[in-house]
Amino acid sequence: MDTTREVLQAVGPGTLPSITPRHPRERTGVRFVLTNAADPSRADDYSAWYDDYESAIIRPGLLANAFRFENPSAAGTACDPQYAAVYDIVSPDPASAWSAIENSPDYPRYLFDDPRSRLVVPAFRASYALTESVEIDDEHRGFTGAQIILSDGPTDAAHAPRAAALLKTGFFYSASRFRIIEGSPNPPAWLEIFETDLQDPLTAYARAFAALGSPADGVHQRSSHPFALVAAR
């Protein structure tokens, strides 16, 4: 597996890298969830319930952050979900973090008695362990969105060249890669998250690949979708 230093070197000269992540240094993985709203006309109620839920599940020593995203162009189906949520796991053992949260007496089960909870229709839920994270300090303006890729592939190193190439285009300032711990249904082996600060984050990946000429990398993608950041805590 390539080290962080090797991936940074692959980005090439002219961009000075700096490990100054928006995510905590002790991040060991993520909890990743894709959902749809049962009634799109009640998106505000969906978001309000999710705000309460995310505030309640962040636990010192287990979860550090919660980020919620939307793809307004998504079909809102199980194969093309509209919403994504990413929670930074900071537990030394990412494999046990989510079960510890769900089995905690403080887990907000009462929120599932709220009628608004029925607006949240899960399409995919999984926990992933961090294998690589690279951030380029290029005076980026702020986290606006991400390209989220779920894929299968033989090795972790197979993904590194694409990550380095995408960062070099300047359309993304951060690339993180995660290996599956557990999930449902039929979880892909890898999760990749490319973060951008573009004013229009939904165009970042298409523009980056246009600049690269869409090089083949041998990675078997299950899905690749842009998302705009809508909430962070």
- Mean pLDDT of each 10-residue bin along the chain, 233 residues long: 35 35 87 97 96 91 94 94 97 95 94 97 98 79 91 76 88 95 96 95 94 68 94 91
Domain with residue 196: its CATH number is 3.30.70.100
CB 158 within 8 A of CB 132: no
- Residue 121: what are its φ and ψ, rounded to 5°? -110, 105
Residue 38 domain boundaries: 4-232
pTM across the whole model? 0.87
pLDDT of residue 81: 96
**Which residues does 154 contact at the CB level (< 8 Å), separation at least 6?**
none
Count of domains for the chain: 1
pLDDT of residue 153: 74
